[in-house]
């Protein structure tokens, strides 16, 4: 296989975008010429090649088979994949499982086939028939007996040593990133395994997987700004869901006592290393359980996922060792502020005035409409959250900022609610559900008042949900877990964009 001048120039760059526009256009033109030449002779995009094995299957099956034993087996295979490297008579293809080396013996192949092989470019997709053997250096290889071009790549791959190094291009052109960077491929393979492990855990615990609407007439289930759209046939505004919570609890009212949904949510908020406007959560609800039960459930599930997917309960995230084998810490909001804010006492968190003064010292600008609970949470966000590196359940969230959670029987100012913090960020939010229809209606009215006062994240009044509660919601606990953040943790990814196949990006400016 030969490289054109443009290919050689490309091999010296960091990635395909290191090429000048002139070089790239010239290379694409050369590859188009090759494609057109093929089209004059035959179908350039055949779809009649059927492989019979994958690269990983061969590596696994013959990992311990000697060179001599392979020769005796004389195993013939049909493999296919993308051409990613060329080293003299050796080619390397990559399929969805792994890379596989090919050997091209120019003396044994017909001249016409050799011409086709020599005209190949990195990135082309080929189908190969040949015999498996092991080279003198021990590399498992397929001796090519026939090779066909199945798809011509018109654009060059990134440099084989440096990969696709431009982070923004990796996010915008994930298809190239997955071809060029093995680390990215591993991340998304792990993501799939994590989600599958989670699903199996729920099912083993007797939960039923369900699907609820993604377009809502009334946005609810969380405090967030929704995306708004319009349904033409119904002639009404609709909202992409910010959470499936209220629909899932309707199902518990209907008698499905243990339900879960791995779902996409949409929140019209900012972009950051932790936030994407479209994200994945798992939400689940269990009748005749409380938030203590869910903390136990979550701790056990995280431990099992780590063991099953990673093979260990100890992981390293951005240099921090996190041990899931140890019992998770449990602290109330108040206790956490006292623990991590030197000199602060519980007495300072008993009145709004004292808490507001403390918040001011933390750099928080206190709004007149905020109550004691909201002020405490602002202090927590600024002064406490980043300290919570090991798995920690923060409990007893103020009623003021928990409109769907059940009030504590011991203190009506707080709720039976928790958030799970790991690595200084929230991964889960759960609580004993509010099943008092009258209390829920009153809290919805409070949310509407806040919305009228200018809070665009406050909830609407959902009359149908109140009707559902009036039919009777059994004592229930529910929780949402951020799947993207969990994958970040388990794959040591610094940004949420690293674990989303197609993250939202700001428009490019020419």
CATH number of domain containing 137: 2.40.50.140
Residue 132 belongs to what H/E stretch? strand 125-134
| Co-location of 485 and 434 in the same domain | yes
Higher-scoring residue by pLDDT: 391, 25: 391
Instruction: Give the predicted TM-score (pTM) of the model.
Output: 0.88
Higher-scoring residue by pLDDT: 467, 460: 467
| Co-location of 404 and 372 in the same domain | no
Query: Could you tell me the pLDDT band of residue 509, with boundaries at 50, 70 and 90?
Result: low
Task: Please check the confidence at residue 162 and state whether its pLDDT lies above 60.
Answer: no
Q: Locate tokens 């390397």: which residue?
A: 92
Mean pLDDT of all residues in 349-364: 94
- CB within 8 A of 34, min separation 6: which ones? 119, 121, 152
pLDDT at site 167: 85
Alpha-helical regions (H) of 40-64:
55-61
Of 111, 60, 56, 109, give the one whose Cα is nearest residue 79. Answer: 56
CA 280 from centroid of its chain's CA atoms: 7
- What whole-number distance in Å separates Cα of residue 214 and Cα of residue 227? 11
Alpha-helical regions (H) of 279-419:
291-305, 333-340, 352-361, 372-383
> In this structure, is residue 24 part of a structural domain?
yes
What is the tally of structural domains in the chain?
3
| Co-location of 139 and 32 in the same domain | yes
Given 96, 129, 161, which residue is the final one in a domain?
161
| Co-location of 457 and 351 in the same domain | no
Task: Report the CATH number at residue 256.
Answer: 3.30.930.10
pLDDT tens-digit series, residues 58-111? 999 999 999 999 999 999 999 999 999 999 999 999 999 999 999 999 999 999
Query: Could you tell me the pLDDT band of residue 13, with boundaries at 50, 70 and 90?
Result: very low
> In this structure, is residue 433 part of a structural domain?
yes
Radius of gyration, alpha carbons of the chain: 29
pLDDT tens-digit series, residues 398-436? 999 998 899 999 999 999 999 999 999 999 999 999 999
Count how many residues are written for the chain.
510
Task: Please check the confidence at residue 12 and state whether its pLDDT lies above 80.
Answer: no
The answer to whether 229 and 239 have CB atoms below 8 angstroms apart is yes
| Co-location of 312 and 371 in the same domain | no
> In this structure, is residue 510 part of a structural domain?
no
pLDDT at site 1: 54
Range of the domain at 492: 183-267+279-330+386-461+472-499
> In this structure, is residue 506 part of a structural domain?
no
Higher-scoring residue by pLDDT: 75, 16: 75
Q: What is the 3-state secondary structure (H, E, C) of 176-238?
A: HHHHHCHHHHHHHHHHHHHHHHHHHHHHHCCCEECCCCCEECCCCCCCCCCCEEEECCCCEEE
> In this structure, is residue 166 part of a structural domain?
no
Mean pLDDT of all residues in 371-380: 96
| Co-location of 321 and 348 in the same domain | no
Task: Please check the confidence at residue 124 and state whether its pLDDT lies above 70.
Answer: yes
Please give the structure tokens belonging to residue 176. 């190239």
pLDDT at site 120: 96
- CB within 8 A of 51, min separation 6: which ones? 77, 78, 79, 80, 127
In the 8-state DSSP scheme, what is residue 310? I
Among left, alpha and beta (phi > 0; psi -120 to 50; other), residue 423 is left
| Co-location of 284 and 410 in the same domain | yes
> In this structure, is residue 178 part of a structural domain?
no
Distances (CA, A) of 367 to 154, 267, 269, 378: 58, 24, 21, 11
| Cα-based angle 402, 267, 397 (whole degrees, multiple of 5) | 15
| Co-location of 301 and 405 in the same domain | yes
pLDDT at site 460: 84
The answer to whether 103 and 134 have CB atoms below 8 angstroms apart is no
pLDDT at site 510: 53
- What whole-number distance in Å separates Cα of residue 110 and Cα of residue 117? 11
> In this structure, is residue 144 part of a structural domain?
yes
| Co-location of 120 and 210 in the same domain | no
Find the range with the poorest average confidence among 39-43, 47-51, 144-148, 155-159: 155-159
pLDDT at site 385: 96
Of 181, 106, 92, 86, give the one whose Cα is nearest residue 140. Answer: 92
The answer to whether 157 and 179 have CB atoms below 8 angstroms apart is yes
Angle at which helix 463-471 crosses helix 245-253, to 10 degrees, equals 30
- What whole-number distance in Å separates Cα of residue 244 and Cα of residue 251? 11
pLDDT at site 386: 96
- CB within 8 A of 414, min separation 6: which ones? 332, 333, 373, 396, 397, 398, 399, 407, 408
DSSP-based three-state secondary structure for 407? strand
* Phi, psi dihedrals of residue 30, rounded to the nearest 5°: -65, -40
| Co-location of 52 and 192 in the same domain | no
pLDDT at site 455: 80
The answer to whether 203 and 190 have CB atoms below 8 angstroms apart is no
Task: Please check the confidence at residue 20 and state whether its pLDDT lies above 80.
Answer: no
> In this structure, is residue 508 part of a structural domain?
no
Query: Could you tell me the pLDDT band of residue 456, with boundaries at 50, 70 and 90?
Result: confident
In the 8-state DSSP scheme, what is residue 460? P
| Co-location of 229 and 133 in the same domain | no
Count CA atoms within 13 Å of residue 378 on its CB side.
21
Find the range with the poorest average confidence among 68-77, 167-176, 479-488: 167-176
Mean pLDDT of all residues in 298-305: 98
| Co-location of 213 and 324 in the same domain | yes
């Amino acid at each position: 296989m030969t490289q054109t001048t443009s290919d050689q120039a490309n091999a010296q760059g960091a990635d395909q975008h290191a090429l000048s526009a002139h070089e790239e256009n010239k290379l694409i033109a050369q590859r188009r010429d090759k494609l057109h030449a093929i089209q004059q002779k035959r179908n350039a995009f055949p779809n009649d090649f059927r492989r019979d094995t994958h690269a990983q299957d061969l590596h696994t099956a013959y990992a311990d088979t000697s060179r001599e034993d392979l020769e005796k087996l004389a195993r013939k295979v049909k493999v296919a994949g993308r051409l990613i490297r060329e080293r003299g008579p050796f080619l390397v293809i990559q399929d969805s499982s792994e890379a596989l080396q090919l050997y091209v013996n120019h003396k044994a192949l017909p001249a016409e086939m050799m011409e086709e092989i020599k005209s190949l470019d990195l990135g082309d997709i080929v189908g190969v028939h040949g015999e498996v053997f092991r080279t003198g250096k021990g590399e498992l290889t397929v001796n090519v007996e026939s090779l066909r071009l199945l798809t011509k790549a018109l654009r060059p791959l990134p440099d084989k040593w440096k990969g696709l190094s431009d982070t923004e291009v990796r996010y915008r052109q994930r298809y190239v990133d997955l071809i060029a960077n093995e680390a990215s491929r591993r991340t998304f393979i792990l993501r799939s395994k994590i989600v599958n492990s989670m699903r199996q855990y729920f099912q083993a615990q007797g939960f039923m997987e369900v699907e609820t609407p993604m377009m809502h007439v009334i946005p609810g289930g969380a405090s967030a700004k929704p995306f708004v759209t319009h349904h033409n046939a119904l002639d009404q505004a609709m909202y992409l869901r910010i959470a499936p919570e209220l629909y899932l609890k309707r199902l518990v009212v209907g008698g499905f006592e243990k339900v879960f949904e791995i779902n996409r949510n949409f929140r019209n908020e900012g972009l950051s290393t932790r936030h994407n406007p479209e994200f994945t959560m798992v939400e689940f609800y269990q009748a005749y359980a409380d938030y203590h039960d869910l903390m136990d459930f979550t701790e056990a599930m995280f431990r099992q996922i780590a063991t099953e997917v990673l093979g260990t309960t100890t992981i390293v995230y951005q240099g921090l060792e996190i041990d899931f084998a140890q019992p998770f810490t449990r602290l109330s909001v108040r206790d956490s502020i006292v623990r991590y804010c030197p000199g602060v006492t519980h007495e300072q968190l008993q009145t709004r005035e004292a808490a507001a003064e403390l918040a001011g010292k933390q750099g928080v600008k206190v709004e007149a409409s905020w109550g004691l609970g909201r002020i405490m949470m602002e202090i927590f966000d600024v002064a406490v959250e980043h300290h919570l590196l090991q798995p920690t359940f923060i409990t007893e969230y103020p009623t003021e900022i928990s409109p769907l959670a059940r009030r504590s029987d011991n203190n009506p100012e707080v709720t039976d609610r928790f958030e799970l913090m790991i690595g200084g960020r929230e991964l889960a939010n759960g609580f004993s559900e509010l099943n008092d229809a009258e209390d829920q209606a009153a809290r919805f009215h409070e949310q509407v008042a806040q919305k009228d006062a200018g809070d665009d994240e406050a909830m609407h009044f959902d009359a149908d949900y109140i009707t559902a509660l009036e039919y009777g919601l059994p004592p229930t606990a529910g929780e949402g877990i951020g799947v993207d953040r969990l994958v970040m943790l388990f794959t040591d990814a610094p940004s949420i964009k690293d674990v989303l196949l197609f993250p939202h990006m700001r428009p490019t400016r020419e």
